[in-house]
Amino acid sequence: EAGVTQFPSHSVIEKGQTVTLRCDPISGHDNLYWYRRVMGKEIKFLLHFVKESKQDESGMPNNRFLAERTGGTYSTLKVQPAELEDSGVYFCASSQSGLAKNIQYFGAGTRLSVL
């Protein structure tokens, strides 16, 4: 069974440009999460989808970030326009429905560098 996949693995863009990150969760997982790790800091929660609905977007930094999960399958995270402080590793995770203590399975992340 395929795990969580993220694309691209690495993206280098200039300040002011737009970047879209994609996450394909494990098939059948209703819960999808986005996290970000800025270099030298802890991983931070961004948002949580249940199917196509945003359950919690309290961690989204500002309105330059837009996450979607049309049809409740894959998700995209768009940063527009990108700023230098957006650089970091963006992780996606998915988990089964049911108990909140279910394991969150992670992708390998997208490393975003904003120059």
Of residues 34, 35, 65, 90, which one binds other proteins by CB under 8 A? 35
For position 109 contacting other proteins by CB under 8 A, the verdict is yes
Which are the contacts of 93, defined by CB distance < 8 A and separation ≥ 6? 4, 32, 33, 35, 104, 105, 106, 107
Rg (CA), the chain: 13
Residue 55 Cα distances to 48, 49, 51, angstroms: 6, 5, 9
* Under rule CB under 8 A, residue 69 binds other proteins: no
Distance CA 98, CA 72 (A): 16
Instruction: Tell me the number of residues near other proteins by CB under 8 A.
Output: 29
Residue 28 CB partners (closer than 8 Å, separation 6+): 96
CB of 80 to other proteins, least distance (A): 25
Residue from the set 39, 41, 71, 98 that interacts with other proteins by CB under 8 A: 41
Please pick, from the candidates 1, 42, 62, 71, the single residue that binds other proteins as defined by CB under 8 A: 42
Q: Is 107 in the site for other proteins (CB under 8 A)?
A: yes
Q: Is 85 in the site for other proteins (CB under 8 A)?
A: no
Decide: is 26 part of the binding site for other proteins (CB under 8 A): no
